[in-house]
Amino acid sequence: MLPSRRVRILLDYRPALRDRTGVGEFAHQMAAALARLGGTADQVTLFSSSWKDRLVAGRVPGAAALDNRVPVSILNFAWHRFGWPPVELLGGIADVAWSLHPMLMPSREAAQVITIHDLYFLDHRDATAREVRRDYAGRVADHARRADAIIVISEYTRDQVIARLHVPASKITVCRPGAPAWAPRHEPATVGPILHIGTLEPRKNVAALVKAYLELVKEDRRTAPLMLAGQGDSAVLLSGNDPELMRTHVRVLGYVSDAERLRLYREASMLVMASVDEGFGLPALEAMTLGVPVVVSSRGALPEVVGDAGLLADPDDRPAFAAAMRRVLGDPGLRRDMAQRGIEQSRRFNWDASAARAREAFDVAVERRRARR
């Protein structure tokens, strides 16, 4: 391993600038962990560009802030299409320019590091945001090839990047999200709601999850309600479902605050995720940290995250998902066993450990950059 040196890290903090979903939470927590790890030795600077939203000093203790009043859509178009302007022209003097997405942050001197959370956009371009459709699928292989290092968030994504982008394993470092600093909950006195947390996008497969859940309701109208927390268009959830059952048993909450999310976890009978693909699955880890049983898809990185602590089901098999939820609802002993297993599994995931792995990757990236000059 190369000897560690003082490193100036410029981290693209834009995914965490507003409401933090999975990528934003990863950006924020890794920035905080790197600042703790580096202390006074390293320099961590948060990069932002936005016309409306300001990045204020002190957002992450120990990290500096570089706030540019440049519309993010314009800057991304220039970066992704033309590789210009280099971050140095925007004030980003650094040894490492770390993008929290698969597209490089252009630089003159800094080593370039990208983050690949998943490769869902390669096969499902139409189910992604406009900018992702425009740039990611056609450019990710080239950006991965040119990057000095690649950070991924699971072994599953690592294997996908090697197989589909033909990137050598030596270039990739797995930095898994860490468990939140939450104490395990006290078991609720009554069976609480069934909870889903995540954006209402096609790969989350929420419409199929709702249909599986409504099968339970048709069997027993006393079934606990299904709570859906996350941004997105909920209209698709109504298609082909009984409007009365949707009204009485399904609650669409939209984006929820950190405090509200924690309250929902503490009251839930279980967390459910029927995703057809996940680069990680942070809600599953959050739920296990508190001792909330999890029923999740058998695809993507979710089996890697939950280990033997949760129940797995094929996301295309609605009866299997319904049966797994039924088991958890009807068996208090199973819920207690899953809760304990989940707490133990969650202790395998640590932000500081992931920051240390990223920091080692940055040293190697700096050496690669120097060798290319």
Those residues of the chain that have pLDDT short of 50 are: 1-3
Cα separation of the two ends of the chain: 22
* Residues contacting residue 273 through CB under 8 Å, at least 6 positions apart: 196, 198, 204, 281, 283, 284, 294, 295, 296, 297, 302
Q: Which CATH superfamily is domain 194-346 in?
A: Glycogen Phosphorylase B; (3.40.50.2000)
Look at residue 326 in the predicted model and tell me its pLDDT.
97
User: Do 194-346 and 8-178+350-372 have the same topology in CATH?
Assistant: yes
Q: Which fold has domain 8-178+350-372?
A: Rossmann fold (3.40.50)
Kindly report the pTM of this predicted structure: 0.94
Q: What would you measure as the largest C-alpha separation in the chain, in angstroms?
A: 68
* Residues contacting residue 86 through CB under 8 Å, at least 6 positions apart: 106, 107, 108
Look at residue 29 in the predicted model and tell me its pLDDT.
97
* CB of 37 closer than 8 Å to CB of 352: yes
Q: Annotate 218-229 with three-state secondary structure.
A: HHCCCCCCEEEE
Domain ranges of the chain: 8-178+350-372, 194-346
- Taking the C-alpha atoms of residue 148 and residue 96, their distance in angstroms, rounded to an integer, is 9
- Taking the C-alpha atoms of residue 123 and residue 127, their distance in angstroms, rounded to an integer, is 9
pLDDT digits (tens, 9 = 90+) for 101-124: 999 999 999 999 999 999 999 999
- Taking the C-alpha atoms of residue 274 and residue 314, their distance in angstroms, rounded to an integer, is 8
Sign of CA dihedral 307, 308, 310, 314: positive
**Any idea what DSSP says for residue 71?**
-
* CB of 305 closer than 8 Å to CB of 199: no
| Secondary structure class of 4 (helix, strand, coil) | coil
Q: Residue length, the chain?
A: 373
| Secondary structure class of 182 (helix, strand, coil) | coil
